[in-house]
Amino acid sequence: QVQLVESGGGLVQAGGSLRLSCAASGGTFSSYWMGWFRQAPGKEREFVTRIGWSGGSTRYADSVKGRFTISRDNAKNTVYLQMNSLKPEDTAVYYCAAARGVANSREREYDYWGQGTQVTVSA
């Protein structure tokens, strides 16, 4: 059983940056593909990005491509989401997720989820 805890959310002005972290415990972190999803008020949860076991195989939603960067540190059991040039439409609860196998953008591909961290971008 893997536990995921996100941190790093907060309030930032448009154009600013935030770095989210997701700390994993209870499993072999390096064996999981990791993803970030987000859910804005009144909307369905959507895929943001994902990363493979060793830090390669990254994939991004078109809406964040060029602004967000996912990375991982297997020695620290942590995955990161660096968010630059933030826009008000990036406001959402951001969730970290872990997949036992190869995963892409569908929620059902992920087996474990964190509780989420709120990101609010003011205009």
Q: Residue 63 gets which letter from DSSP? A: T
The alpha-carbon radius of gyration of the chain (Å, integer) is 13
User: Residue 56: its pLDDT value, please?
Assistant: 84
User: Residue 57: its pLDDT value, please?
Assistant: 93
User: Residue 27: its pLDDT value, please?
Assistant: 87
How does pLDDT run across 20-76, given as a tens digit for each residue? 999 999 989 999 999 999 999 999 999 999 999 998 899 999 999 999 999 999 999
